[in-house]
Amino acid sequence: MSGYLESLFSLNGKIALVTGAGGGIGSAIAQALCHAGAHVALTDINLDALQKIKDGLGENASVFKLDMSDIASFAPVAANVAKITGKIDILVNCAGINKREGIVDVDEATYDKIMDVNLKGAYFLSQAVAPYLKEQGGGTIINIGSHNTGMALGGVSVYGASKSGLMALTRSMSVEWAKYGVRANCISPGHFKTELTAPTWAHPERSKYLLERIALNRPGVPDDLVGISIFLASDASSYITGCEFRVDGGFFSGGRPWPFDTKWD
């Protein structure tokens, strides 16, 4: 069985470029792809965070500084990754930012900053990387969406719009680039516990609100995204493109049910 599974899921010989690799979710995905056999190009604006991750992965990872709001740097960074590693097979658009404000409270600067990183950055980085995928006959793009692509919460209007746009972009990529062997899919995490979301889970009302709506009755953790990431990056998903995969503990399905009679109780 092990040989069969390896033939499906192995990333040996693959090169993966992961944005936001210094964060909780980005680092978990980057390390997972590396452990599955890929050489990972770790990118983030925070080089100190990247170096700590690379120290744990050794020669199977490289570090590249990347500011997702600096579009002019995308082509040079992609070229540098390809020059040093030899090619690019996998792109994971994970970098993202948020600021929780009501719709009437958001100013133009905040709107532009969130959109620039979450949507515009992913759009133009994919544009810069796609030629390297096409050149070798194909590859895969994994965009990291959000629960907010399908269900809204108060105070996340700009973030939700950016992630919904990213899902729409995923579909466009899958249609336009299929003839080049390039697949694109979107992973939409639910409510995860990371360093950035710690204030939400420490908030008595917000944490209670979320837990009451998560069927599995716990927040997600970055390692919960490992399996789906390897699946979408590997040949095991060779006939899947343009899809959104929700990893949310059952939130979107309806969460925890109201009381009902059952012989199981």
Residues annotated as part of the active site: 159
Token readout for 252 is: 């979107």
Token readout for 91 is: 């792109």
- Alpha carbon distance 134, 94 (integer Å): 21
Percentage helix, strand, coil for the chain under 3-state DSSP, each rounded to 5:
50, 15, 35
Overall residue count recorded for the chain in this entry: 265
Residue with tokens 């979301």: 197
SS (H, E, C) 167-192: HHHHHHHHHHCHHHCEEEEEEEECCE
- Alpha carbon distance 188, 150 (integer Å): 9
